[in-house]
Protein backbone atom coordinates (compact mmCIF):
# COMPACT_ATOMS: atom_id res chain seq x y z
CA UNK A 1 0.00 0.00 0.00
CA UNK A 2 2.76 2.46 0.92
CA UNK A 3 4.69 1.51 -2.21
CA UNK A 4 1.64 2.17 -4.38
CA UNK A 5 1.09 5.56 -2.78
CA UNK A 6 4.71 6.63 -3.18
CA UNK A 7 5.03 5.68 -6.84
CA UNK A 8 3.18 8.78 -8.23
CA UNK A 9 5.38 11.03 -6.09
CA UNK A 10 8.55 9.35 -7.33
CA UNK A 11 7.44 9.55 -10.96
CA UNK A 12 6.66 13.27 -10.53
CA UNK A 13 10.06 13.78 -8.93
CA UNK A 14 11.80 12.01 -11.81
CA UNK A 15 9.84 14.13 -14.30
CA UNK A 16 10.91 17.32 -12.51
CA UNK A 17 14.53 16.18 -12.45
CA UNK A 18 14.37 15.42 -16.17
CA UNK A 19 12.96 18.86 -16.91
CA UNK A 20 15.58 20.55 -14.75
CA UNK A 21 18.34 18.57 -16.46
CA UNK A 22 17.00 19.53 -19.90
CA UNK A 23 16.75 23.18 -18.84
CA UNK A 24 20.28 23.11 -17.45
CA UNK A 25 21.67 21.54 -20.65
CA UNK A 26 19.98 24.27 -22.65
CA UNK A 27 21.27 27.30 -20.75
CA UNK A 28 24.41 26.29 -18.86
CA UNK A 29 26.67 25.42 -21.85
CA UNK A 30 26.12 28.83 -23.57
CA UNK A 31 26.70 30.62 -20.28
CA UNK A 32 29.88 28.60 -19.74
CA UNK A 33 31.03 29.43 -23.27
CA UNK A 34 30.55 33.17 -22.77
CA UNK A 35 32.27 32.97 -19.37
CA UNK A 36 35.25 31.22 -20.98
CA UNK A 37 35.42 33.86 -23.72
CA UNK A 38 35.35 36.72 -21.22
CA UNK A 39 37.93 34.95 -19.06
CA UNK A 40 40.31 34.59 -22.01
CA UNK A 41 39.68 38.22 -22.94
CA UNK A 42 40.50 39.25 -19.37
CA UNK A 43 43.74 37.25 -19.32
CA UNK A 44 44.94 38.47 -22.72
CA UNK A 45 44.34 42.15 -21.96
CA UNK A 46 45.98 42.30 -18.54
CA UNK A 47 49.28 43.54 -19.94
CA UNK A 48 47.91 45.30 -23.01
CA UNK A 49 47.86 49.08 -23.12
CA UNK A 50 45.98 49.47 -26.41
CA UNK A 51 43.28 46.78 -26.21
CA UNK A 52 40.48 47.42 -23.66
CA UNK A 53 39.62 45.02 -20.84
CA UNK A 54 36.16 43.55 -20.29
CA UNK A 55 35.61 45.89 -17.34
CA UNK A 56 36.40 49.05 -19.31
CA UNK A 57 34.27 47.86 -22.24
CA UNK A 58 31.36 47.16 -19.90
CA UNK A 59 31.67 50.63 -18.38
CA UNK A 60 31.65 52.18 -21.85
CA UNK A 61 28.59 50.10 -22.79
CA UNK A 62 26.69 51.28 -19.71
CA UNK A 63 27.50 54.88 -20.56
CA UNK A 64 26.71 54.40 -24.24
CA UNK A 65 23.32 52.78 -23.73
CA UNK A 66 22.28 55.21 -21.02
CA UNK A 67 21.38 57.60 -23.88
CA UNK A 68 21.41 55.71 -27.21
CA UNK A 69 19.23 58.25 -29.07
CA UNK A 70 21.03 61.54 -28.55
CA UNK A 71 21.69 63.95 -31.42
CA UNK A 72 24.56 66.44 -31.43
CA UNK A 73 24.93 66.88 -35.18
CA UNK A 74 24.78 64.88 -38.41
CA UNK A 75 27.94 62.93 -37.59
CA UNK A 76 27.44 62.69 -33.83
CA UNK A 77 24.38 60.58 -33.03
CA UNK A 78 23.65 57.81 -30.58
CA UNK A 79 24.13 54.16 -31.38
CA UNK A 80 20.35 53.69 -31.43
CA UNK A 81 19.91 56.05 -34.38
CA UNK A 82 22.77 54.38 -36.24
CA UNK A 83 21.29 50.94 -35.64
CA UNK A 84 17.85 52.07 -36.82
CA UNK A 85 19.40 53.61 -39.93
CA UNK A 86 21.09 50.32 -40.82
CA UNK A 87 17.93 48.31 -40.17
CA UNK A 88 15.98 50.68 -42.40
CA UNK A 89 18.43 50.21 -45.26
CA UNK A 90 18.44 46.43 -44.81
CA UNK A 91 14.63 46.38 -44.73
CA UNK A 92 14.36 48.38 -47.96
CA UNK A 93 17.05 46.47 -49.84
CA UNK A 94 15.87 43.08 -48.64
CA UNK A 95 12.19 43.92 -49.22
CA UNK A 96 12.81 45.00 -52.80
CA UNK A 97 14.87 41.85 -53.39
CA UNK A 98 12.04 39.68 -52.01
CA UNK A 99 9.47 41.40 -54.25
CA UNK A 100 11.61 40.67 -57.31
CA UNK A 101 13.54 37.53 -56.37
CA UNK A 102 10.80 35.23 -55.06
CA UNK A 103 8.45 35.62 -58.07
CA UNK A 104 11.45 35.40 -60.40
CA UNK A 105 12.49 32.16 -58.72
CA UNK A 106 9.02 30.69 -59.22
CA UNK A 107 9.04 31.63 -62.91
CA UNK A 108 12.56 30.29 -63.49
CA UNK A 109 11.76 27.03 -61.73
CA UNK A 110 8.44 26.63 -63.52
CA UNK A 111 9.62 27.12 -67.10
CA UNK A 112 12.62 25.17 -68.36
CA UNK A 113 13.41 27.63 -71.15
CA UNK A 114 13.74 30.54 -68.73
CA UNK A 115 15.85 28.38 -66.42
CA UNK A 116 18.28 27.62 -69.24
CA UNK A 117 18.39 31.29 -70.25
CA UNK A 118 19.03 32.70 -66.78
CA UNK A 119 21.20 29.97 -65.25
CA UNK A 120 24.51 31.12 -66.85
CA UNK A 121 23.72 34.77 -66.00
CA UNK A 122 23.06 33.93 -62.35
CA UNK A 123 26.17 31.75 -62.21
CA UNK A 124 28.21 34.66 -63.58
CA UNK A 125 26.84 37.40 -61.31
CA UNK A 126 26.23 35.54 -58.05
CA UNK A 127 29.93 35.13 -57.02
CA UNK A 128 30.62 38.85 -57.51
CA UNK A 129 31.23 40.63 -54.21
CA UNK A 130 28.26 42.86 -53.33
CA UNK A 131 30.60 45.80 -52.73
CA UNK A 132 31.66 45.62 -56.37
CA UNK A 133 28.12 46.80 -57.22
CA UNK A 134 28.41 49.86 -54.97
CA UNK A 135 30.18 52.09 -57.56
CA UNK A 136 27.45 51.18 -60.08
CA UNK A 137 24.85 52.33 -57.56
CA UNK A 138 26.72 55.58 -56.94
CA UNK A 139 26.97 56.17 -60.68
CA UNK A 140 23.26 55.53 -61.31
CA UNK A 141 21.65 57.07 -58.22
CA UNK A 142 24.16 59.88 -57.55
CA UNK A 143 23.64 59.42 -53.80
CA UNK A 144 25.13 57.23 -51.09
CA UNK A 145 21.92 56.03 -49.42
CA UNK A 146 20.21 54.62 -52.57
CA UNK A 147 23.54 53.12 -53.62
CA UNK A 148 23.78 51.24 -50.31
CA UNK A 149 20.19 50.00 -50.70
CA UNK A 150 21.02 48.91 -54.27
CA UNK A 151 23.99 46.94 -52.96
CA UNK A 152 21.78 45.20 -50.38
CA UNK A 153 19.24 44.44 -53.11
CA UNK A 154 21.88 42.75 -55.26
CA UNK A 155 23.33 40.65 -52.44
CA UNK A 156 19.87 39.61 -51.18
CA UNK A 157 18.24 38.61 -54.44
CA UNK A 158 20.41 35.62 -55.38
CA UNK A 159 19.63 33.33 -52.39
CA UNK A 160 15.90 33.87 -52.85
CA UNK A 161 15.96 33.29 -56.61
CA UNK A 162 18.11 30.16 -56.38
CA UNK A 163 16.33 28.51 -53.44
CA UNK A 164 12.85 29.27 -54.77
CA UNK A 165 13.70 27.93 -58.23
CA UNK A 166 15.27 24.81 -56.70
CA UNK A 167 12.14 24.22 -54.62
CA UNK A 168 9.90 24.47 -57.69
CA UNK A 169 12.10 22.09 -59.69
CA UNK A 170 11.98 19.47 -56.92
CA UNK A 171 8.20 19.21 -56.98
CA UNK A 172 7.26 15.68 -58.17
CA UNK A 173 6.21 15.57 -61.78
CA UNK A 174 3.10 13.63 -60.80
CA UNK A 175 1.69 16.77 -59.18
CA UNK A 176 2.10 18.72 -62.39
CA UNK A 177 0.57 15.88 -64.42
CA UNK A 178 -2.51 15.94 -62.20
CA UNK A 179 -2.74 19.71 -62.59
CA UNK A 180 -2.55 19.30 -66.37
CA UNK A 181 -5.29 16.66 -66.35
CA UNK A 182 -7.52 18.90 -64.21
CA UNK A 183 -6.70 21.84 -66.51
CA UNK A 184 -5.75 24.09 -63.64
CA UNK A 185 -4.79 27.66 -64.43
CA UNK A 186 -1.29 28.92 -63.69
CA UNK A 187 -2.59 30.90 -60.72
CA UNK A 188 -4.32 27.79 -59.34
CA UNK A 189 -1.13 25.76 -59.82
CA UNK A 190 0.82 28.43 -57.99
CA UNK A 191 -1.53 28.69 -55.01
CA UNK A 192 -2.38 24.99 -54.56
CA UNK A 193 0.85 23.23 -55.62
CA UNK A 194 3.89 25.46 -56.04
CA UNK A 195 3.61 27.75 -53.02
CA UNK A 196 2.84 25.12 -50.33
CA UNK A 197 5.46 22.71 -51.67
CA UNK A 198 8.24 25.27 -52.02
CA UNK A 199 7.60 27.29 -48.85
CA UNK A 200 10.52 25.69 -46.90
CA UNK A 201 12.90 26.49 -49.77
CA UNK A 202 11.59 30.07 -49.99
CA UNK A 203 12.09 30.61 -46.26
CA UNK A 204 15.61 29.18 -46.48
CA UNK A 205 16.41 31.68 -49.21
CA UNK A 206 14.91 34.48 -47.12
CA UNK A 207 17.05 33.54 -44.11
CA UNK A 208 20.21 33.43 -46.21
CA UNK A 209 19.33 36.75 -47.83
CA UNK A 210 18.77 38.53 -44.51
CA UNK A 211 22.03 37.17 -43.09
CA UNK A 212 23.95 38.28 -46.19
CA UNK A 213 22.34 41.73 -46.19
CA UNK A 214 23.19 42.28 -42.52
CA UNK A 215 26.79 41.29 -43.23
CA UNK A 216 27.10 43.61 -46.21
CA UNK A 217 25.48 46.69 -44.64
CA UNK A 218 28.41 47.30 -42.29
CA UNK A 219 30.99 47.36 -45.09
CA UNK A 220 28.71 49.39 -47.38
CA UNK A 221 28.14 52.04 -44.72
CA UNK A 222 31.86 52.25 -44.02
CA UNK A 223 32.32 53.28 -47.65
CA UNK A 224 29.25 55.49 -48.11
CA UNK A 225 29.09 57.22 -44.70
CA UNK A 226 25.96 58.75 -43.20
CA UNK A 227 23.93 57.41 -40.29
CA UNK A 228 24.42 53.66 -39.80
CA UNK A 229 26.16 51.13 -37.62
CA UNK A 230 28.92 50.61 -40.20
CA UNK A 231 29.67 54.31 -40.42
CA UNK A 232 29.57 54.50 -36.61
CA UNK A 233 32.21 51.74 -36.35
CA UNK A 234 34.47 53.53 -38.82
CA UNK A 235 33.96 56.87 -37.08
CA UNK A 236 34.86 55.33 -33.72
CA UNK A 237 38.00 53.86 -35.28
CA UNK A 238 38.98 57.32 -36.49
CA UNK A 239 38.49 58.49 -32.92
CA UNK A 240 40.57 55.50 -31.67
CA UNK A 241 37.68 54.42 -29.44
CA UNK A 242 38.21 50.66 -29.44
CA UNK A 243 35.69 50.18 -26.61
CA UNK A 244 32.87 51.37 -28.84
CA UNK A 245 34.09 49.17 -31.71
CA UNK A 246 33.88 46.09 -29.50
CA UNK A 247 30.42 47.14 -28.35
CA UNK A 248 29.37 47.57 -31.98
CA UNK A 249 30.58 44.05 -32.79
CA UNK A 250 28.39 42.63 -30.02
CA UNK A 251 25.41 44.74 -31.13
CA UNK A 252 25.79 43.69 -34.77
CA UNK A 253 26.02 40.04 -33.77
CA UNK A 254 23.02 40.29 -31.43
CA UNK A 255 20.83 41.95 -34.06
CA UNK A 256 21.86 39.38 -36.68
CA UNK A 257 21.06 36.57 -34.25
CA UNK A 258 17.66 38.15 -33.48
CA UNK A 259 16.82 38.40 -37.19
CA UNK A 260 17.83 34.77 -37.70
CA UNK A 261 15.74 33.64 -34.72
CA UNK A 262 12.70 35.62 -35.90
CA UNK A 263 12.84 34.02 -39.35
CA UNK A 264 13.32 30.55 -37.87
CA UNK A 265 10.26 31.12 -35.66
CA UNK A 266 8.29 32.24 -38.71
CA UNK A 267 9.38 29.14 -40.62
CA UNK A 268 8.30 26.88 -37.75
CA UNK A 269 4.95 28.67 -37.44
CA UNK A 270 4.23 28.34 -41.15
CA UNK A 271 5.28 24.68 -41.22
CA UNK A 272 3.01 23.93 -38.25
CA UNK A 273 0.11 25.76 -39.89
CA UNK A 274 0.57 23.62 -43.00
CA UNK A 275 0.44 20.42 -40.97
CA UNK A 276 -2.98 18.77 -41.08
CA UNK A 277 -4.74 18.67 -37.73
Domains in the chain (CATH in brackets) are 74-274 (1.10.3720.10)
d(CA 167, CA 109): 8
d(CA 17, CA 166): 45
SS3 of 269, please? helix
Dihedral sign, Cα of residue 159, residue 209, residue 131, residue 129: negative
The residues, any chain, with a CB within 8 Å of residue 208's CB and separated by 6 or more, are 159, 163
* Other CB atoms within 10 Å distance of the CB of residue 192: 14
Identify the bridge partners of residue 77 per DSSP, sorted by sequence position.
71
pTM score: 0.81
Angle in degrees, CA 131, 141, 146, rounded to 5: 60
d(CA 202, CA 150): 22
Q: Are 193 and 182 in contact (CB under 8 A)?
A: no
* Exposed / middle / buried, residue 58 (Cβ in 10 Å: 0-12, 13-18, 19+): middle
Among candidates 30, 53, 57, 56, which has minimal Cα distance to 40? 53
Could you read off the pLDDT tens digit of each residue along the chain, which spans 277 residues? 445 444 556 777 778 888 888 887 888 888 888 889 888 988 888 887 788 889 889 999 999 899 888 888 777 788 889 999 999 999 999 999 999 999 999 999 888 899 999 999 999 999 998 889 999 999 999 888 899 999 999 999 999 999 999 988 888 887 777 777 777 777 887 778 887 888 888 888 998 999 899 989 988 998 887 788 989 999 888 888 899 999 999 999 999 889 888 888 877 776 655 544 3
Amino acid sequence: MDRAMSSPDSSTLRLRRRRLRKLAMRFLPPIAGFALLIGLWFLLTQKSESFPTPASTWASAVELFSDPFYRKGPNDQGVGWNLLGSLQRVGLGFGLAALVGIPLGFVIGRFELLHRMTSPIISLLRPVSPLAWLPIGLLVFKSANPAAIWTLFICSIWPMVINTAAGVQRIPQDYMNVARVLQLSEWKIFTTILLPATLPHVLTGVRLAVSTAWLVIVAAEMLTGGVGIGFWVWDEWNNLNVNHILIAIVVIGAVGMALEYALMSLARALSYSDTPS
